[in-house]
Amino acid sequence: MHILIPDDYQNAVRALDCFAKLAGHTVAIYHDTMTDLDTLAARLEPADALVLIRERTRITADLLARLPRLKLIAQTGRGTTHIDLAACAQRGITVTHGSGSSHATAELTWALILAATRFIPQEVARLKAGHWQGHFGRGLHGRTLGVWGYGGIGSLVARYGHAFGMRVIVWGREGSLSRARADGFSPALDRDTFLAESDVLSLHVKLNAETRGLVTAADFARMKPDALFVNTSRAELIEPGALVGALQTGRPGFAAVDVFEQEPILGADHPLLKMDNVICTPHLGYVEKDSYEGYFGQAFDQVVAFAAGNPV
């Protein structure tokens, strides 16, 4: 099979142990992001199979109409909101997906919390510039961690907070609240209380049509002026412009984000990157070797099974 892998920003896929699973197949890998339909269609046209890295490339009906050879899309991870599944079904294109570990993103979330509350990036920059202490950070012990969404990642973040001696409160759908209760964590009394009491609020909600724009400007206005808002889920969960506006008005006082509306961001072309009270990372949550081995190992197994006539 001719297998094509787009959007390998870091040229990481060939270095994975699991890449050996594709031996005997023709593999092409691209390291940039292409959104122009004509260019993208020309690039993908030779492919019998696509292996997609999370949601980096959108697969639309218009694009599929120009890929007559395509038989399989193997998605790394569970998400398929970026794939027109109805158009795939109409064209007889098989779509597979896998699962992934929650630990990499949960660990990155906690790294951002520590970095933001102790001003670690700013202090590193000051020291390298020849200066000494400049910021007065805050500890986490005894403060309140709000976890919005108690799934695989949110539950890990809650446990990390407990290990740091934080009071943990949870908000989300009834399923999240039930799971939190079963694990010994307290749901907030209501949404307003959750927002008002959180010293650190970490968002862990899946993006879909119902949750798009879930967090509003009014929500941010209820947060403390010294609170930290953390988003390692999806930028589209936030009402457009609401986070930038909230940080400018001072509620919350700080943010740490790993996700953006349009990725990748080049040339520092995003308002959050220009704000002193925000720490930004380039969507590193799942970008970790063990995580990649798991995601791609599953996807490559699905490709090999399909090629052998035994689709998963």
Q: Give the three-state DSSP class for 83.
A: strand
Query: What is the reported pTM?
Result: 0.92
Query: What's the 3-state SS for 196-237?
Result: HHCCEEEECCCCCCCCCCCECHHHHHCCCCCCEEEECCCHHH
> Which among 36, 37, 26 has a CA at the least distance from the CA of 2?
26
Q: What is the pLDDT of residues 174-214, one digit of tens each?
A: 999 999 999 999 999 999 999 999 999 999 999 999 999 99
Of 123, 236, 263, 293, the active-site residue reads: 263
Question: Is residue 263 annotated as a catalytic residue, yes or no?
Answer: yes
What pLDDT score was predicted for residue 189? 96
Question: Is residue 283 annotated as a catalytic residue, yes or no?
Answer: yes
Question: Is residue 234 annotated as a catalytic residue, yes or no?
Answer: yes
Rounded to the nearest integer, the mean pLDDT of the chain is 96
Count Cα atoms within 13 angstroms, Cβ side, for 310. Answer: 4
Domain that holds residue 23: 2-100+288-307
Q: Is residue 312 part of a domain?
A: no
Of 143, 204, 222, 283, the active-site residue reads: 283
Of 97, 234, 251, 270, the active-site residue reads: 234
User: 60 with 146, same domain?
Assistant: no
User: 129 with 213, same domain?
Assistant: yes
CATH number at residue 132: 3.40.50.720
User: 222 with 151, same domain?
Assistant: yes
Q: What is the pLDDT of residues 45-98, one digit of tens each?
A: 999 999 999 889 999 999 999 999 999 999 998 888 899 999 999 999 999 998
Q: Is residue 130 part of a domain?
A: yes
Can you tell me the distance from the alpha carbon of 49 to that of 115, in angstroms, rounded to the nearest whole number? 40
